[in-house]
Chains A and B, each alone.
Chain A
Amino acid sequence: MLGDYSLGDLGAIFAMQGFAGLILFSVYLLMALGLAIIFGQMGVINMAHGEFMILGAYVTYLCSTFCQTYLPALFPIYFFIAMGLAFLASGALGMLVEWGLIRFLYKRPLDTLLATWGLSLILQQAYRSIFGAREVGVELPSWLIGSVQVTDTIEIPINGLFVMAVTILITVCVALLIFRSRFGQQVRAVMSNRAMAGAVGIDTEKVDRYTFGLGCGIAGIAGSAFTMIGSTGPTSGQLYIVDTFLIVVFGGAASLLGTIASAFSISQTQSTLEFFLSGSMAKVITLLAVVGILMLRPQGLFTLKVRR
């Protein structure tokens, strides 16, 4: 299929295709980061992760309508405010859920799956009752629309670049928070040995609550960013859940680096395959490859050396 095109064309396509892969990588990483904290660090199987993302998306929607009606001056930069609010809203809801539900279930990780599944049903219905069953459209400030013309033939979508920037920023923040801050030290201590962490005076309950809240808050940011490239409706969250879990598991659950590596390899595989095959088959082959590798290497790409 490539024979008929000039070299310049091909180069441009490969460059754009490379960026397409990178954008997909950012999307996947952003989706998976929150879950990597909740599932990877805490062992909680949060099936409502997608719904926390959509909460962020709805917050963005509200923000955009509010700014349009009352504060048109703020509209060009509302997206940053929206992301902050999305983080706070999803994080607060996350902490509430941890307090009311998850903290009773730390000893039964598989039960968290069932409880959060119930939660996701409730949240979906709540969104439907509040915002209506139809999808809502989030209007973007004009500077986020369109693409950057790199050369005559190479164009890079701006919102893709924006998602990439957000992803890098969040990833760096999370890494600093987990590996360089006192809070992160406590999180890691609690996750590796809860009883011992408690014994040395760490308030484990508080750490749990903030960790869960942090994971959900990041989901909220992801949802907010995705309003630029995807749909916002009561059930949109479900679209992401399988991919997200697979990325985290493939990376090796407890490893942040693993999550990054796995998001990268899955997104590149899928993006390349999509170019040469039809969309459905690309998806099937990517998932099959992931499952196949997990069968051979069940601990994922990267793993902490823990004695089981």
Chain B
Amino acid sequence: MTNPVQTLTKSVTVNDNPFMKPVEWLSLFLLAGVILVVLPLMLDGFRLNLVGKYLTYAFVALGLVICWGYAGILSLGQGVFFGLGGYGMAMYLKLEASSIENTKIQSTPGIPDFMDWNQITALPWFWQPFKSLPLTIVLAVAVPVLFAMLISFAMFKRRVGGTYFAIITQAIAAILTILIVGQQGYTGGINGITDLRTLHGWDIRTDSAKFILYFVNGGLLIACILAAQYVKKSKLGRILVAMRDKEDRVRFSGYSVAGFKVFAFCFAAGLAAIGGAMFTLQVGFMSPSFVGIVPSIEMVIYAAVGGRLSLFGAVWGTLLVNWAKTSFSESFPDLWLFGLGALFIAVVLAFPNGLAGIWREHIEPRLTRRAKSLQAPEPAIVPPHGAPAE
């Protein structure tokens, strides 16, 4: 059996390729068109808000494409970064919602309600920076990235391999969940941080605000795709692929393998954090259930369904899985897990490259032929794609 992943790495081996090939521009416009024009025209406010929520997961899936697909680092703890980003934003929003006026029935007005319930009488120090919006925006991304750096630096220095890293990140997700749930006076516990109202005085609960936030989210997502594309196309991206396929050779060529891996992991963490912050803004609360293991694995599945080597695929995959989840569960509340489980198995068995694989094998060749882009046939030499684990 030939490895179907091979065809996908083709573009990377061409040295003098442009930032994006015509087909890729086409995919980008298609995606942008659907997200920013078609869906808003087609869907009502409620469904559009749902799509907005799904798209926040797409940030995580994008990060996973770089970190798992290209650098070969599978993380089962992306929920940690999504959650940290989301909590950062939620802390700011909660402080704004807990003005002295709003909370005057509490024994200590001016602090979030759950702190008051837990006999905390002053705002803890780590909540203080989240009184300011600019600082919050910086911290919501910086904290997860620094945390990712801390985790990954120690591990990649010691050359922790694929599966091990996956299990360790999973354990970290478990630890953080228990910690957040256990320290409910400081974190809101299992309820999470709820009842968020305004962003710098702007009521985010109204339909118009949700509409605007949807476009902000969509725009940010496109920007992140371009950023990821830049990483992928730069020399860095090629080193990542080389590393994934033959780590030792890259090391012997004088590159610091650990450094590049740390970068890829932090990049993915940063994207996840942006997603988390946008999630909080659109949904209006943050809950420890995102930090746990189940959502972290689900996010990997989004990337897998979309195709782990395709940035656009990741977004489509996220939309497809979530759409399937919502519509299965609305029509068959008793049986929807069967459908979802079968979908995952089918994707892994039949379409190991996910949606992107289908696109590249069946649709793209036709497009290219039709466009007659008159390029000489590309050399079919491809680095053998081993399992990303090794």
Tell whether any CB of A sits under 8 Å from a CB of B in the complex: yes
Contact between A280 and B178, CB atoms less than 8 A apart: yes
Contact between B345 and A115, CB atoms less than 8 A apart: yes
Binds A, one of B157-165, B198-206, B208-216, B279-287: B157-165
A290 within 8 A of B: yes
Query: Which residues does chain B contribute within 8 Å of A107, judged by CB atoms?
Result: 3, 387
B174 within 8 A of A: yes
B348 within 8 A of A: yes
Query: 9 nearest interchain CB pairs?
Result: A118-B344, A121-B341, A122-B341, A125-B337, A298-B160, A280-B182, A118-B341, A115-B348, A118-B345
- 8 A-B Cβ contacts within 8 A? A105-B348, A111-B304, A114-B304, A115-B345, A121-B337, A122-B337, A245-B167, A281-B182
Contact between A115 and B349, CB atoms less than 8 A apart: yes
Q: How far is the CA of A284 from the CA of B171 in the complex (A)?
A: 10
Which of these, A101, A111, A298, contacts B161 with CB under 8 Å?
A298
* Chain B interface helix/strand/loop/mixed: helix
Q: How far is the CA of A296 from the CA of B154 in the complex (A)?
A: 8
Chain A 36-64: CB-based contact to B (< 8 A → 1; otherwise 0): 00000001010100000000000000000
Q: Which of A97-137 contact B (CB under 8 A)?
A: 101, 104-105, 107-111, 113-115, 117-122, 124-126, 129
A196 within 8 A of B: no
How many chain A residues sit at the interface, stated as a range, is: 35 or more
Q: Which of B142-195 contact A (CB under 8 A)?
A: 154-155, 158-164, 166-168, 170-172, 174-175, 178-179, 181-182
B297 within 8 A of A: yes
Contact between B163 and A291, CB atoms less than 8 A apart: no
Contact between A119 and B158, CB atoms less than 8 A apart: no
B388 within 8 A of A: yes
Contact between A287 and B341, CB atoms less than 8 A apart: no
Q: How far is the CA of A295 from the CA of B348 in the complex (A)?
A: 30
Instruction: Given A121-B344, A245-B167, A291-B168, decide whether A114 and B174 contact each other with a Cβ distance below 8 A.
Output: no
Query: Which residues does chain B contribute within 8 Å of A242, judged by CB atoms?
Result: 170-171, 174, 293
Q: How far is the CA of A122 from the CA of B343 in the complex (A)?
A: 10
Query: Which residues does chain B contribute within 8 Å of A118, judged by CB atoms?
Result: 340-345, 348
Q: How far is the CA of A298 from the CA of B243 in the complex (A)?
A: 19
Instruction: Given A104-B349, A280-B178, A290-B171, decide whether A109 and B163 contact each other with a Cβ distance below 8 A.
Output: yes
Query: Which residues does chain A contribute within 8 Å of B167, judged by CB atoms?
Result: 245-246, 249
Query: Which residues does chain A contribute within 8 Å of B349, judged by CB atoms?
Result: 101, 104-105, 115
Query: Which residues does chain A contribute within 8 Å of B240, judged by CB atoms?
Result: none
Minimal beta-carbon separation of B286 from chain A (angstroms): 20
Query: Which residues does chain B contribute within 8 Å of A126, judged by CB atoms?
Result: 338
Number of A-B contacts (CB under 8 A): 127
Q: How far is the CA of A82 from the CA of B137 in the complex (A)?
A: 57
A283 within 8 A of B: yes
Query: Which residues does chain A contribute within 8 Å of B174, judged by CB atoms?
Result: 242, 287
Which of these, B155, B300, B338, B390, contacts A122 with CB under 8 Å?
B338
- Can you name 16 extra interface pairs (CB under 8 A) apart from A120-B341, A284-B179? A104-B349, A105-B349, A107-B3, A113-B76, A115-B348, A118-B343, A118-B345, A122-B338, A241-B293, A242-B170, A280-B181, A280-B182, A291-B175, A295-B160, A298-B159, A298-B161
Q: How far is the CA of A43 from the CA of B297 in the complex (A)?
A: 18
Contact between B300 and A114, CB atoms less than 8 A apart: yes
Q: How far is the CA of A284 from the CA of B160 in the complex (A)?
A: 22
Q: How far is the CA of A122 from the CA of B335 in the complex (A)?
A: 9
Chain A 264-296: CB-based contact to B (< 8 A → 1; otherwise 0): 000000000000000011011001101100111
Q: How far is the CA of A303 from the CA of B279 in the complex (A)?
A: 42
Query: Which residues does chain B contribute within 8 Å of A296, judged by CB atoms?
Result: 154, 158
Minimal beta-carbon separation of B169 from chain A (angstroms): 9
Contact between A287 and B175, CB atoms less than 8 A apart: yes
Instruction: Given A291-B172, A291-B175, decide whether A129 and B335 contact each other with a Cβ distance below 8 A.
Output: yes
Q: How far is the CA of A113 from the CA of B165 in the complex (A)?
A: 14
Q: How far is the CA of A46 from the CA of B28 in the complex (A)?
A: 36
Minimal beta-carbon separation of B44 from chain A (angstroms): 30
Contact between A110 and B175, CB atoms less than 8 A apart: no
Output the residue of A124, A253, A291 with the most chain B CB within 10 A: A291
Query: Which residues does chain A contribute within 8 Å of B101, judged by CB atoms?
Result: none
Query: Which residues does chain B contribute within 8 Å of A115, judged by CB atoms?
Result: 344-345, 348-349
Chain A 194-223: CB-based contact to B (< 8 A → 1; otherwise 0): 000000000000000000000000000000
